[in-house]
Structure 1
Amino acid sequence: MPPYPTGSWMPVALSADLPAGTVMPAQSPAGPIALWRSHSGRAAAFADRCPHRGMRLSHGFVRGETLSCIYHGWSYAQAGNCLRIPAHPALTPPDTIRVATQPVEDGGGIIWISVGEPAAGPPRFEGLAPLRSMMVEADVAALEAAAGTKIGEGLLDYTHNSRTIRLLLAPEGQARTLMHVLVDEDSNPAELIATSRAAEALRRAAEHISLTGIAR
């Protein structure tokens, strides 16, 4: 069940997990991406493959406003065009040397990438803030079964020990889901801990269903 059809936005990471000057791997419907943030704070998403020798750009490093491949140091601007080839410092790289990019929106503590061409910006969840992300070795259907409910208005609600938590899901392959845990903005430390534990309980239950087909 793909909850992010063409014309929508997919949440691929939390803003706090991508500090300025860093790069991380992520997944999109189009395949693996290198998600990175320039030193000025702007996020970008590249296809995770350097056009030169195919090295993963998520293994690279950020220099100022560019992402450089770790293999031969080719550097790319946020628009995807190559700016520098260290072996040929006097060469201005032709515009044909570029990496595929995907539109990115960074807001409300969540980094989104576009799936196709959305007509509007990504959703905003008023009154909620991201707490953490975790990888679940189960698909969205198993998470819905473990939660005993279906995704509604973009979020999966899960009640555990009389506490309802809100979950934003992003599928990664056939049986893997990235789960972003959201909390009320005014939650206190004890509530944050309880929410995190509830999310862990759901992860374990969903993975048990994925393995056995049986709910606990």
Structure 2
Amino acid sequence: MPSDTAGSWTPVALSADLPPATVIPAWTPLGAIALWRSQSGRASASSDRCPHRGMGLSHGFVRGEALSCIYHGWSYSPAGGCIRIPAHPDLVPPETIRVAVQQVAESDGIVWIAVGEPAMPPPRLDNLAPIRSLTLDADVAAIEAAAGEKADADGLIRVADCPWVRLLPAEQIGCTLIHLLVEQGRSVADRITASRIAEAVRRRAETRQKDMA
């Protein structure tokens, strides 16, 4: 992924897959996160572990501008501080109760998470429209071989026999998440074709990965 000496950006989801007042699990090189969007539309990334009893916050729920744990309802702000403990409604939670958070940026329909402190914003994916995300049981090298092209400086892999299709990978533990994009202005039929192409790349990449094991 695009990086500099201070940090890098990981594309973790499509903006369309994170509507207001929802939380989903995601992953970065720093570990599992709860990716959530407040009622007002702000995207945030919190460590996927409630400090109370260790429950995954990605199983929780969003109310207003806070993420709440499904277990006992402890609520956290986008900055990570605990702001409410339902069992003690009159208590102001101490500042020491908090979850780790990571910087979030959105551009061109992609949600990016910072790893470290990147000096530059995420790359612009001008003239590209995101279609869907899918997980491959293959590494980036196998995906590049299956697509017939190497990733460019922005991390995008062009599909050699269909150059208007791009794949944006994000390596995870034992698999790779890829976001499928097509050039702006493509028809519905082209988008369906692109999805089928991505599935074909998936099959080739996974077969190659198994052959290399």
Report the TM-score when normalising by structure 2: 0.95
Amino acid of the structure 2 residue aligned with 1:207: E
Give the match for residue 159 of structure 1. 160
Residue identity over aligned pairs, in percent, reads 60
How far off is 1:166 after superposition? 0.7
Distance 2:54 2:92 in 1: 21
How far off is 1:24 after superposition? 0.3
Would you say the 8 A contact 1:10–1:112 is kept in 2? yes
Q: Which runs of 5+ in 1 are unaligned?
A: none
How far off is 1:213 after superposition? 2.6
Would you say the 8 A contact 1:4–1:115 is kept in 2? no
How many equivalent pairs are there?
211
Counterparts of residues 1-216 of structure 1 (less than 5 Å): 7-153=7-153, 154-160=155-161, 162=162, 164-173=164-173, 175-213=174-212
Amino acid of the structure 1 residue aligned with 2:181: L
How far off is 1:159 after superposition? 2.6
Amino acid of the structure 1 residue aligned with 2:207: H
Distance 2:182 2:147 in 1: 17
Distance 1:52 1:179 in 2: 33
Q: Which runs of 5+ in 2 are unaligned?
A: none
Corresponding residue SS for 1:23: strand
Report the TM-score when normalising by structure 1: 0.94
How far off is 1:151 after superposition? 0.8
Corresponding residue SS for 1:80: coil
Worse overlay, 119-128 or 146-155: 146-155
Distance 1:101 1:36 in 2: 11
- How far does the alpha carbon of each residue in 1:100-142 deviate from its partner, in whole angstroms, 9 at most, with x for none? 0000001210000001101111111111110111001111111
Amino acid of the structure 2 residue aligned with 1:107: S
**RMSD of the alignment, in Å?**
1.5
Distance 2:96 2:179 in 1: 37
Amino acid of the structure 2 residue aligned with 1:155: L
